[in-house]
Amino acid sequence: MPKVTFEPYQVTADAYPYETILELAMRLGIHINASCGGLGACGKCKVILEKGEVQGEKVDGIYYKACTTVPLTDVVIRIPVESKYDRKALLRKDRVLAKAIERKESFPLYSPLNWASLSLKPPSLEDNMPDLSRVLLALKPFVGDNFKVELEFLRKLPHVLRAQAFRATFFWYEDPFTGYKLLFDLDKPEISPLGVAIDLGTTTLQLELVDLSTGEVLAQTSDYNPQISFGEDVISRIEFCKKKDGLKLLSERVKEKIHVLTEELLKQAGRSLSEVKLFSLAGNTVMTHLFLELEPRYLREHPYVPVAQFYPPLLAKEIGFSPYSAVFQFSPSVASYVGGDITAGVLASLIAAEEDLTLFIDLGTNGEIVVGNRDFLMCAACSAGPAFEGGGIKHGMRATSGAIEGVHIDPETFEPMILTIGKQRPKGICGSGIISLLAQLFKVGLIDRSGKFRRDIAHPRLRKGDEGYEYVLVFKEESALEHDIVFTEADIDNLMRAKGAMFAGYQILLESAGLSIFDLKRVFLAGTFGSYIDLEDAITIGLLPDLPRDRFFFLGNTSLQGAKKALLSKEKLLELNRIAQMMTHVELSGHPQYMDYYMAALFLPHTNEELFPSVKKS
């Protein structure tokens, strides 16, 4: 990896392969003006190559555009500066991400989906017992007495047996709670059944195809949840269900998509649909209700009652997945807004198996949090809203191409440095960009602790717009849109409420257990969002607690990981359900102290600065 030294800051670091000078500077916290997102269009990010070789576009004879220039050897790069300043002041802390870890554990593969390959003696006049009796006699050592035979199994039975000379593989699903077994399919003598783990999110669907014999992941895919067309968030989808056949429609759409994605997985892996015998789905309570066509309206009407917390395993055909002869199992919920994605997440994160007190945060369309260890688990849903996914933010957007994901503001010039996803002209700001922007505005002093813009600072980017004061992050000329991209005081208000709700949530949960923020040994960030958050920025605004940075871990899609464990192990499925039973749900809005904590959290980083020692210090 080539080393890059930035002058005049005398900061040296290794560049990643293909990393541009601009990206490296953003990562290191070095400011370079850049307003086109990394596309090379604005030409503002000019730097001087003092030593070494680069690949990039030369402009005005001596400059390179930082946004499109990649070092080929060790290089020295000088950033031209327009004024004198305290070098130190310009340097922000390195961008710090939570350490990505995979919480691996080994467990015996013993899927709730069982199978046995048998060679039966063909019938004769002396031994002409019914086909089913013949099969059950042979299966008795495996299946025992507590079972049921599916009608479809009986319908296939005589044909498959005779087509395969009475050799076949038999499949049954064992409900790990009751031990009751459902004998539902038979197939070729040699077959290695497949499972599909599904994370059914409000916004995205992620699937993995898994070999049930080996546990190996054979293929992965993801896509948007097609229900988005009928409402971005869970509330609007619940509303949509009040229309005639609305619920059915939402259910069908997501099932169709799961079918399409499963076919995609099978194509990737070169396997066939008939080999899929088990689906394991984890989704939040609303998503699971919609999937199963269970009435969702009482989830959001006082007193917020789900139809069910534990969902029975079902045959694919029972829910209209007729091409599959497979079973669907579901990750259990805890409450209306703490769903199967969280219980699966707790399973995957091993919190409930370890001693370390851990805060588990899933910051997606909503914010769910869990606090606990092997002795106790408490959880809550924070009404954070979708601000961290760009929702409710004037120019907020989801983390897709053209979204501003990284922001730095020059503390002297107040000029921004931005990076967009896919290095496209900026279209809006996504979650990680929003957090950084708020943190930066606070750090450079453009907003005060209450989140208000400083009216006394005159700057072309700070202005009074139609909706009050705002900061212009991208002027029209540089944006992909027909207008400026701005960040308003109303946006800041929304963010303050969202992060305040989260922080108050941590406090209530911890306090309910007689603990404080500083007792936390670990903070686990789940969901894709967690991988992009700049820890420093997130702590600066008070969204994350101010703990040593090495206590933060990014776990990835724990919902999917948990669903996969339940796919592969009866024990893990049982554990998943024990977790759901063990988790104490705290209804924050009903908690007597919640409002106080919440109000106190509506400052940057917090009313009580003692809670944020590192922010106070800086």
CB of 292 to its own copies, least distance (A): 7
Quick count: other Cβ atoms within 10 Å of Cβ 549?
A: 17
Assess 302 for contact with its own copies (CB under 8 A): yes
The one among 148, 242, 243, 476 contacting its own copies by CB under 8 A: 148
The amino acid at 468: G
CB of 466 to its own copies, least distance (A): 40
CB of 171 to its own copies, least distance (A): 16
Report the C-alpha gap between 612 and 503 in whole angstroms. Answer: 12
CB of 45 to its own copies, least distance (A): 54
The amino acid at 331: S
Assess 145 for contact with its own copies (CB under 8 A): yes
Assess 381 for contact with its own copies (CB under 8 A): no
CB-nearer residue toward its own copies: 6 or 330: 330
Assess 243 for contact with its own copies (CB under 8 A): no
CB-nearer residue toward its own copies: 157 or 543: 157
Q: To the nearest 10°, the Cα dihedral for 26, 530, 299, 376?
A: -140
Binding mask 571-610 toward its own copies (x if CB under 8 A, else -) reads ----------------x--x--------------------
Assess 158 for contact with its own copies (CB under 8 A): yes
The amino acid at 443: K
Size of interface with its own copies, in residues (CB under 8 A): 53
Report the C-alpha gap between 219 and 130 in whole angstroms. Answer: 41
Q: Site residues for its own copies, window 168-207 (CB under 8 A)?
A: 175, 177-178, 180
Report the C-alpha gap between 150 and 131 in whole angstroms. Answer: 14
C-alpha of 575 from chain center: 22
H or E element that contains 560: helix 558-568
Report the C-alpha gap between 375 and 515 in whole angstroms. Answer: 14
Report the C-alpha gap between 339 and 307 in whole angstroms. Answer: 12
Stretch that binds its own copies, among 151-159, 238-246, 371-379, 452-460 (CB under 8 A): 151-159
- In sequence order, the 6+-apart residues with CB closer than 8 A to the CB of 502 are 361, 363, 367, 369, 382, 384, 543
CB-nearer residue toward its own copies: 105 or 145: 145
CB of 251 to its own copies, least distance (A): 10
Report the C-alpha gap between 290 and 69 in whole angstroms. Answer: 48
Q: Site residues for its own copies, window 306-325 (CB under 8 A)?
A: 306-312, 314, 318-319
Q: To the nearest 10°, the Cα dihedral for 590, 596, 600, 602?
A: 40
Indicate the SS3 state at residue 290: helix
The one among 151, 456, 458, 617 contacting its own copies by CB under 8 A: 151
Secondary structure string (H, E, C) spanning 532-554: CCCHHHHHHCCCCCCCCHHHEEE
DSSP structural state of residue 424: P
CB of 340 to its own copies, least distance (A): 13
Assess 157 for contact with its own copies (CB under 8 A): yes
Binding mask 461-490 toward its own copies (x if CB under 8 A, else -) reads ------------------------------
The one among 97, 335, 371, 441 contacting its own copies by CB under 8 A: 335
Site for its own copies, rule CB under 8 A = 123-133, 145-151, 154-155, 157-159, 162, 175, 177-178, 180, 292-295, 297-298, 302-312, 314, 318-319, 333, 335-336, 587, 590
